[in-house]
C-alpha cells in the first residue's frame, strides 16, 4: 500500500476501471476506481479532501475486493474525463464521478438511449461486468452527474403526471416514483419525489415512510408539513387527499424502497479506506 498526492499524479497514467461499491439500484452515482498503468495499482479517485493523498493498493488486493463486491468493474476502461482536467489536460481540477443507469429507467423517463453528451461533456458508456447489458456506466464531472440525475428524476415525475391522468394503476405509478427516488439528487426534487411516492401508497403506509426515512433526510420537516404537501399534490392530480392515520408496521413494498435509498446513501458514504478495508 502506498500514498501519492493527487496533484503529483499524471492523469494520462490512469485509466478508470470501475466504480466504488455495487450498482444495486436502477441508477445512481459513485466514485471512480482508477488503475495506474505503470504497476496495476488501484485507488478510489476521491478529491473531496484538498491535497489529501490517494491510497494505492496492489492489483491482487484490488481483485480480492472485487470478488467480495466492494467495487464494480467496467467491461473496458475509460479515460479520465477532460471536463475534470485543467487547460493543459494533465491535472485534475474537478472531481470525476461515475453515473450508471438501467435502460428500463431511461425508457420510462423517455431518455433513451444513454446520452452521448451532457452539459458540454462527452459521455462514453461501458457495460458493468456484474450487471446485464441494459445497465451501463459513464464518467463525467461530479456537477454534471448531479444535474443529469436530476434531469432523469424530473423527467420521471413528468411521466408520473401523464400516466396518472391516463388512469394507470398504482403499481405502475409506484414503479415510476421508485425510479425517480433513485435518480433525484437535489433536495427540493427529492422532497417532491417523496410526495409523489406517497400519493400512490395506501394511507396507512405513508406515516411509516415519513418516520422511517424521510424525517432522517429532512430533519426540520414535520409530519403535518409532509401531509399537507402530499394532500396538495393529490388534489392537483385529481385524487382524494391522504387520511391521517397512526403508524403501522413496514410493508414489503416499503422495505424495497428504503433498501434502495439506503443503498444509494451507502455508496456515497463509502470512503477510499472503506473500499479496501478487510
Chain segment 88-119, per-residue pLDDT in tens: 999 899 999 999 999 999 999 999 999 999 99
Backbone angles phi, psi at 95, to 5 degrees: -65, 120
- Would strands 53-56 and 71-78 be described as parallel, antiparallel, or unpaired? unpaired
| Contacts of the segment 165-173: beta carbons below 8 A, 24+ positions apart | 165/237, 165/238, 170/200, 173/199, 173/200
Tell me the C-alpha distance between 142 and 95, whole Å. Answer: 6
Q: Which pLDDT tens digit goes with each residue over 132-177?
A: 889 999 999 999 999 999 999 999 999 999 999 899 999 999 999 9
CA distances from 3 to 9, 36, 52, 76 (A): 11, 12, 9, 25
Can you give the length of the chain in residues?
278
pLDDT tens, residue by residue, 34-81? 999 999 999 999 998 888 889 999 999 999 999 999 999 999 999 999
Cβ neighbours for 253, distance < 8 A, ≥ 6 positions apart: 174, 201, 205
Write down the H helix ranges in 133-211: 142-165, 170-183, 187-199, 203-209
Longest dimension (CA), the chain: 63
Q: Are 275 and 65 in contact (CB under 8 A)?
A: yes
Going from N- to C-terminal start, the domains of the chain cover 2-141, 151-263
User: Which pTM was predicted?
Assistant: 0.83
CA-based radius of gyration for the chain: 20
Q: Which has the closest alpha carbon to 47: 77, 84, 87?
A: 84
Kindly state the cell numbers that stand for 151: 434531469
φ, ψ at 30 (rounded to 5°): -165, 155
Angle at 263 between CA 222 and CA 103, to 5 degrees: 110
Amino acid at each position: 500500500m502506498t500514498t501519492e498526492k493527487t496533484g503529483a499524479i499524471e492523469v494520462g497514467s490512469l485509466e478508470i476501471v470501475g466504480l466504488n461499491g455495487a450498482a444495486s439500484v436502477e441508477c445512481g452515482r459513485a466514485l471512480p476506481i482508477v488503475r495506474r498503468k505503470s504497476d496495476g495499482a488501484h485507488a478510489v479517485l476521491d478529491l473531496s479532501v484538498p491535497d489529501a493523498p490517494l491510497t494505492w493498493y496492489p492489483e491482487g488486493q484490488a481483485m480480492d475486493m472485487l470478488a467480495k463486491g466492494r467495487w464494480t468493474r467496467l467491461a473496458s476502461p475509460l479515460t479520465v474525463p477532460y471536463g475534470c482536467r485543467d487547460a493543459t489536460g494533465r491535472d485534475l481540477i474537478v472531481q470525476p464521478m461515475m453515473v450508471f443507469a438501467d435502460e428500463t429507467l431511461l425508457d420510462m423517463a423517455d431518455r433513451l438511449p444513454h446520452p452521448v453528451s451532457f452539459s458540454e461533456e462527452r459521455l462514453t458508456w461501458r457495460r458493468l461486468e456484474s450487471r446485464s447489458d441494459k445497465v451501463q456506466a459513464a464518467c463525467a464531472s461530479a456537477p454534471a452527474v448531479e444535474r443529469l440525475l436530476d434531469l432523469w428524476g424530473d423527467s420521471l415525475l413528468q411521466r408520473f403526471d401523464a400516466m396518472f391522468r391516463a388512469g394507470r394503476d398504482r403499481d405502475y405509478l409506484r414503479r415510476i416514483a421508485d425510479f425517480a427516488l433513485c435518480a433525484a439528487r437535489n433536495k427540493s426534487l427529492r422532497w417532491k419525489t417523496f410526495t409523489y411516492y406517497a400519493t400512490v401508497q395506501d394511507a396507512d403506509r405513508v406515516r411509516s415512510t415519513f418516520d422511517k426515512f424521510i424525517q432522517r433526510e429532512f430533519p426540520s420537516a414535520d409530519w403535518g408539513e409532509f401531509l399537507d404537501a402530499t394532500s396538495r399534490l393529490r388534489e392537483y392530480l385529481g385524487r382524494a387527499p391522504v387520511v391521517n392515520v397512526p403508524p403501522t408496521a413496514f410493508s414489503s413494498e416499503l422495505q424495497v424502497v428504503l433498501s434502495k435509498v439506503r443503498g444509494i446513501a451507502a455508496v456515497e458514504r463509502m470512503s477510499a479506506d472503506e473500499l479496501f478495508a478487510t
